[in-house]
Chain A
Amino acid sequence: MDASRDGVIYTETIVHSPPEQFAADAPYQLAILELPNGNRTTIRVLGKEAADRVRIGDRATFVEERDGVAYYRKAKPASD
C-alpha cells in the first residue's frame, strides 16, 4: 500500500451509460481525488454496493494501478 496516494474525494459520479470499451464495467464510479499535495487526479472507485460508493469529502485508499488507471476503495472509518 502506498499511503501517499490516498486522498479525499473532490467530486464523483456513477456512470450508467459507458463508452463501448468500458461496457462490461458499468455501472462504475468515477471520481476526482485530491491528494495530500493538493494535486487532483481522475480515478475509479472499486465496489458495486451502495456501501462501497464514495461521496464528496470521503477518504479513499489506493488499491492498485491497472493499464495506467488508479483504482481506489472507500476508506474504512478510523478505528480509534
Chain B
Amino acid sequence: MQVPGHAARVMAEQQAMDCSGGSGNGRPAGEHFKILPAIDAILEYMRPVAVVGIGKTAFGAFPDKSLRALAVEATNHALADANLAASEVEAFYLGNFAGPSFVGQNHLAPYVGMAAGFEGIPCTRFEDACASSGSAFFHAWLGVSSGIYDRVVVTGVEKMTSQTTPRVTEILAGAGDMASEGKAGATFPALFGMIARRHMQQYGTTREQLAAVAVKNHANGAKNPLAHMRKIITLEQAMNGKPIAEPLTVYDCSLISDGAAAVVLVPLEQARDLNPRYARILAVVQTSDHVALDSKADITVFPAVQAAGKKAYAIAKVGPQDIQLAELHDCFTIAEIVASEDLGFVEKGDGGPFVENGCTRLDGRIPINTSGGLKSKGHPVGATGVGQICDVVMQLRGDAGERQLARHQLGLAQNLGGSGATCVVSILEAA
C-alpha cells in the first residue's frame, strides 16, 4: 500500500505503538528461570536435531478414510520429503488422543507402524489430550538428541467425524477431570467459556476481540489448501453465531476434523545430506499443570504455557520479540489470546487489543496462526501438535503459498492439552 510520507509515518508509529510487546519482555529470556543451570548442563550432552521431512493430509471430514489410512498417508508424505525409506526408520512415535473411543481401536502405534512399513522397531502411542502429538514430538526429539536414534518418525492422527457432535463432546470432556468438573457437566467449550468470562472480567477483554481471532484465522485458512473450512467470515457473523457455551459461539470453537500430520527427525549434522530444506529445532519443552480447571489459582493464566515458553526461549537463546511467526493452540478463540500473553508477545491482559489491532495478522508484527489455526484449518486432536510443526516448517521453507510471510527465519509452535494441563512449546529455525 502506498501512503504519502507523513501519513505513512503516523501509521507506522501507531502500528509500532499498538503492537509493541510488553515492556518486561525485552529482558534476556530465562533470567528468572531457576533451573537454567541444569538445562545448560544437560544440553552439553544433547545433539542438535532437525526436521528433514514433513507430511500432512488435508484436514476435514473423510468418511472413506480410516484412522490408519490417514496416518499412513501423512507418514508416507513425510518420508518422501525426507528422502528416506520406511526401512531406515529406527523408532516410531504416534500422537493420538482417543482412537479407542472414536474408532474402537487400541494398540494404535504398531497398528499404524506396521502399515507404514516400520517392521520390528519400537512403536509407541502418546496420549496427552490435544497435546498428544506435541508430546510425541518432544519424546522423539529426546530420542534423537540423546544419541539413541538417528532416524525417527512422529505422526499425529485423529478420526473424529464418524461420531455425532454430542458423542464427540463427551469423548473430549474426558480430557478434563471426570470426577469433578466432568460429572457436573463441563464440556471443553464450557471450560474455555468460563476462562473467557473471567478474562473479560479481569482485563476488559471484549466479545469483539474474541471474534477478531476467528475472523483472522478464517482469513488465513482460506489461503491454505489443506484447511478444513476455507471460508472467510465477517466480524458480524462471528459475533452472532449460535451459542455453544456462553460467551462462546460456534465461531469461537475449533472444528471437529479428521486428519494426520507427520515429521521426520534426524541429527542436525546429517540433515543437509537428506534434505537441504530442513529446519533446525532450537528447543522443545513439555510442561504440565492441574487437569481440573477449578484447581488453578488464576484461570486467566496457563502456567504450563508460561513455563514452557520461558524454558524454550532460554534454551533457544531467543526472546518473544525475536519470534517471526507462531502457530498457537486456538482450540477456542480465548485460548489464542491467553497463549499470546503467556508466551510474552504482550503483557497479561493485552491479548484482546493485540489481535483486534491487527498485530497478529499476516501483515502484523507477529503473525499468529498463518495456517488458519485450529479454528479454520481444523483440529483433529491427536494430529494438531505435529500439524503445527509442519505449518511452521512450511513458513520457514518459504513454501506457504498465498499466506507466505516475508520474514520467516524463526518460528514457534505451542500445543495445549485440556484446559492447560499439558503444554509443548517448540522453537524452530530455517536452514
CB <8 Å contact, B185 and A28:
yes
CB <8 Å contact, B194 and A20:
no
CB <8 Å contact, A30 and B170:
no
CB <8 Å contact, B197 and A42:
no
Set B170, B201, B245, B299: member contacting A15, Cβ < 8 A: B245
Interface 1/0s, chain A 50-67, versus B by CB < 8 A? 000000100000000001
Residues of chain A within 8 A of B185, CB atoms compared: 15, 18-19, 22, 25, 28, 30, 44, 69
B313 to chain A, nearest CB (A): 30
* Chain-A contact segment, one of B74-82, B122-130, B161-169, B216-224: B161-169
Question: Nearest B residue to A14 by beta-carbon distance?
Answer: B246
Task: Among A11, A21, A25, A28, find the residue whose CB has the most chain B CB atoms closer than 10 A.
Answer: A11
CB <8 Å contact, B293 and A32:
yes
Interface 1/0s, chain A 1-12, versus B by CB < 8 A? 000000000111
A-B contact count (CB 8 A): 93
Residues of chain B within 8 A of A69, CB atoms compared: 183-185
Q: B212 an interface residue at 8 Å Cβ cutoff?
A: no
Once the chains are docked, how many angstroms separate the CA of A31 from the CA of B198? 11
Set B169, B197, B294: member contacting A56, Cβ < 8 A: B197
Set B166, B180, B248: member contacting A19, Cβ < 8 A: B166
Once the chains are docked, how many angstroms separate the CA of A43 from the CA of B165? 24
CB <8 Å contact, B189 and A17:
yes
Question: Nearest A residue to B180 by beta-carbon distance?
Answer: A42
CB <8 Å contact, A19 and B170:
yes
Q: B181 an interface residue at 8 Å Cβ cutoff?
A: yes
Residues of chain A within 8 A of B198, CB atoms compared: 10-11, 56
Q: A77 an interface residue at 8 Å Cβ cutoff?
A: no
Give the dominant DSSP class at B's interface. helix
CB <8 Å contact, A17 and B184:
no
Q: A48 an interface residue at 8 Å Cβ cutoff?
A: no
B261 to chain A, nearest CB (A): 27
Q: B143 an interface residue at 8 Å Cβ cutoff?
A: no
Residues of chain A within 8 A of B173, CB atoms compared: 19
CB <8 Å contact, A42 and B184:
yes
Interface 1/0s, chain B 277-311, versus A by CB < 8 A? 00000000000000011110001000000000000
CB <8 Å contact, A17 and B201:
no
CB <8 Å contact, A17 and B165:
yes
Once the chains are docked, how many angstroms separate the CA of A20 from the CA of B173? 11
Q: Which of B148-203 contact A (CB under 8 A)?
A: 164-167, 169-170, 173, 179-181, 183-187, 189-190, 193-195, 197-198, 201
Question: Nearest A residue to B191 by beta-carbon distance?
Answer: A13
Once the chains are docked, how many angstroms separate the CA of A23 from the CA of B187? 12
Once the chains are docked, how many angstroms separate the CA of A16 from the CA of B187? 10
CB <8 Å contact, B166 and A23:
yes
A65 to chain B, nearest CB (A): 11
CB <8 Å contact, A15 and B181:
no
Set B180, B201, B244, B247: member contacting A41, Cβ < 8 A: B180
CB <8 Å contact, B187 and A11:
no
Residues of chain B within 8 A of A67, CB atoms compared: 183
Q: Which of B218-272 contact A (CB under 8 A)?
A: 242-248
Question: Nearest A residue to B174 by beta-carbon distance?
Answer: A19
CB <8 Å contact, B184 and A30:
yes
Question: Nearest A residue to B171 by beta-carbon distance?
Answer: A19
B164 to chain A, nearest CB (A): 8
Residues of chain B within 8 A of A56, CB atoms compared: 197-198, 201
B307 to chain A, nearest CB (A): 22
Set A21, A25, A30, A70: member contacting B186, Cβ < 8 A: A30
Question: Nearest B residue to A13 by beta-carbon distance?
Answer: B193
Once the chains are docked, how many angstroms separate the CA of A40 from the CA of B183? 15
Once the chains are docked, how many angstroms separate the CA of A40 from the CA of B194? 13
Residues of chain A within 8 A of B197, CB atoms compared: 11-13, 56
Residues of chain A within 8 A of B295, CB atoms compared: 40
Residues of chain A within 8 A of B247, CB atoms compared: 13
> Could you list 17 further interchain pairs (A-B, Cβ under 8 angstroms) beyond the known A14-B245, A17-B187?
A13-B193, A13-B247, A15-B187, A15-B193, A16-B245, A17-B169, A18-B187, A19-B185, A19-B187, A20-B164, A20-B169, A23-B166, A31-B194, A32-B299, A42-B181, A44-B184, A44-B185
Q: Which residues from chain A sit less than 8 Å from chain B, CB to CB?
A: 10-23, 25, 28, 30-32, 40-44, 56, 67-70
Q: Which residues from chain B sit less than 8 Å from chain A, CB to CB?
A: 164-167, 169-170, 173, 179-181, 183-187, 189-190, 193-195, 197-198, 201, 242-248, 292-295, 299
5 A-B pairs whose Cβ atoms sit less than 8 Å apart in the complex? A16-B242, A20-B169, A30-B184, A31-B194, A44-B185
